[in-house]
Structure 1
């Protein structure tokens, strides 16, 4: 017997109404003097603002976040430990630009080198690490590029460990924002280095160049950059009230502009947007009709907490619907897909999230199926 399936669409108005009272009807906008920029709510992976975010650009010392990603990989894999000591080559010692001031032919603890890279932006420290892990900086840069591809940075290429100017060394604001997110997610045990404000090595104390660490906005990383070709740039992240924003800006005209623009855009993101919680993992969204099952319905749920980030002004225009081809035929195993939640909001792409069965629903036995079939023939599909 053929089951006639109905397109079941349930508007979950109560969910939307419970989020909060009506707000102003127009979302705020922002612009920036940065040549490239992107701001992402990492909590929901939502782009809040972007400007030329996929445009190729020099990355200067922001490249060192990729250097650290490779180093953290080595630490996690056991190929390196924080207490290992690494030798300083003449090439590392002679390296120009920002420096940790390593001593020629000395050996330096890996943990000190990490602080030298992250806090002091030491080009010399980068080369010490690169040579130790790959034999040469050139070989290490190939590892950087390969690893970047593996984690989704498809518009990036690295020719050195420091961000030293090279026309073949580049990335995009979007790729760097993804890199920041991956480093935070993949290496929480090492991310704390990025929030440290100063480090003293060889009797020389240097402060962290990240200007947002010195402003009360919840910033805890990541890395500045500057070259003549790139201008002033910053990869930054801040956490406030359970929300984490990631910002990348580049091409700014001065250190002051970098500090002010970064803080302004970050504050705007926290002020104008909110991450709204719709459903908790395991929470029953709706009961979906079942065909030939031991139960007439199966509770539908999501596998992870479902949140969406919206401009506060756009919240009243959000709609949330459950769409499913009901009835779902038994047997149904817990975790089987039974439909999707469709979320729409002004100015946002439609978001679709799969919903799954929260419990098992076995199929009826022979006599149960026969009775259900007879009932269907007498009463019809709408019974």
Structure 2
């Protein structure tokens, strides 16, 4: 029997809706346009929902400069988490690492330094020498380490990113995008929370040389707690930043700003815009019953269905229209059904436009019923197969509405 469409109109107390990786719809909201920035490309993302609040050329392939080191560190910390690398592990600095041009931690050739100190030198000092030393220690060479970085990028869905080295030094085949860097930052915050405080540190001293973190917002905005800056002549001034205000985290990525002050200003404008005009709204809570459609051949006649996790979207604070939710339930549902089994979808709409889809799952285990229940329901299903969809549909709607 073909799948029946069950649409249940639910009044959703929210002001706006957004699909993942798309700018949140205003739903008629009266909000100002996005701020004007000096950067070539940028993105503003909500860390909880992954929704993009505002973006400009966010998928354009651009040189990331030292933003590259976000992935350099992420690969290393993933290895630490997996037990393949230790923070106190000594690393011998090669002459190749010592000779690496650009920003430096000021390592001495032949000296030994711990992985932990190298991570500090990479994040705070943006040390190219530290990046090469770490890469050589983990993978044997910068080239092989870059391959690990690319494999990790693929696993995160960074489709507009390709690394040639762990430093960010210019190469025609070395590029990323504002959107990809925001996604990477979110992965760092989500997956490597034990190491994330490193990105908020303002100073690091090595070889009696004290260097300051180049993220100016760490001094200007107490809500900012990371992540990384970058600069080359080809890339301009870049920065990936995250902040938390009232428990809500936003992530920004700007590429190609005109100066150190302008990249900080560009970032601050994005953060202000996102916090002032947008908010998160939980439309449906995880594990709550959204409907109780008919269940055939089971010990129970109805099955409680819902979503596993909270459905939270980033939305404009003021809106005219309200979105609607629709449940599409696979039918017939036949016991036994195990808790967590996907039985349909929950779709959020703005008019005819679908904004987001989530799997609809069984919220309980329901075993098969006795022989009489199984036999009589089998007969009913055969009879229903002879009926038109219009005759079969009201019974399903009635049962679901009763939930």
User: TM-score, length-normalised on structure 2?
Assistant: 0.85
Are the counterparts in 1 of residues 14 and 281 from structure 2 also a CA contact under 8 Å? no
**Alignment length (residue pairs):** 377
Contact kept, 8 Å, 1:12 with 1:322, in 2: the verdict is no
Q: Secondary structure at the match of 2:292?
A: strand
Q: Alpha-carbon deviation of 1:138?
A: 2.9
- 2:234 is matched with which residue: 220, 223, 229? 229
- Contact 1:314–1:345 (CA<8 Å) still a contact in 2? no
1:172 matched residue in structure 2? 177
Query: Residue in 1 aligned with 2:144?
Result: 139
Q: Check 1:236–1:18 CA distance in 2 against 1; reply closer, same or farther (3 A cut).
A: closer
Counterparts in 2 of 1:7 and 1:115: CA distance versus 1, 3 Å: same
Which structure 2 segments of 5+ residues have no match? 17-25, 385-390, 396-403
Measure the CA separation in 1 of the matches of 2:75 and 2:108: 24
Q: CA deviation at 1:292?
A: 3.6
Residue matched to 2:348:
343
Q: Once the two structures are superposed, what CA deviation does each residue of 1:21-71 show, in whole Å capped at 9, x if it has no partner? A: x99733432043311111211211111111111111011111111111221
Distance (Å, rounded) in 1 between the aligned partners of 2:252 and 2:176 = 15
Relative to structure 2, which stretch is displaced further, 300-309 or 84-93? 84-93
User: Quick check: 1:69 aligned with 2:74?
Assistant: yes
**Distance of 1:315 and 1:207 partners within structure 2:** 47
89-98 or 106-115, which moves further after superposition?
A: 89-98
Structure 1: tracts of 5 or more residues without a match = none
Q: Could you tell me whether the CA contact under 8 Å between 1:140 and 1:160 is conserved in 2?
A: yes
| 2:261 aligned with 1:256 | yes
Query: 2:29 aligned to 25, 50, 55, which one?
Result: 25
Partner of 1:158: 163
Instruction: Verify: 1:312 aligned to 2:317, yes or no.
Output: yes
User: For the structure 1 residues 358 and 202, does the alpha-carbon distance in structure 2 shift closer, same or farther, using more than 3 Å as the test?
Assistant: same
CA distance in 1, matches of 2:55, 2:164: 26
The alignment yields a C-alpha RMSD, in angstroms, of: 2.8
Sort the Cα spacing of 1:6 and 1:110 in 2 relative to 1 into closer, same or farther, 3 A. Answer: closer
Is it true that 1:265 corresponds to 2:266 in the alignment? no
Deviates more, 1:220-229 or 1:311-320: 311-320
Q: Secondary structure at the match of 1:249?
A: strand
Higher relative contact order (CA 8 A, sep 6+): 2
- Asked whether the equivalents of residues 44 and 309 of structure 1 are also in contact (C-alpha less than 8 Å), the reply is yes
Alignment partner, residue 240 of structure 1: 245
Deviation for aligned residue 1:121: 0.8
Looking at structure 2, the residues matched to 335 and 51 of structure 1 have their Cα atoms a distance apart, in angstroms, of 39
Q: Check conservation: 2:27, 2:322, Cα contact below 8 A.
A: no
Q: Distance in 2 between matches of 1:143 and 1:216?
A: 34
Give, in whole Å, the separation in 1 of the partners of 2:284 and 2:374. 34
Partner in structure 2 of residue 59 of structure 1 = 64
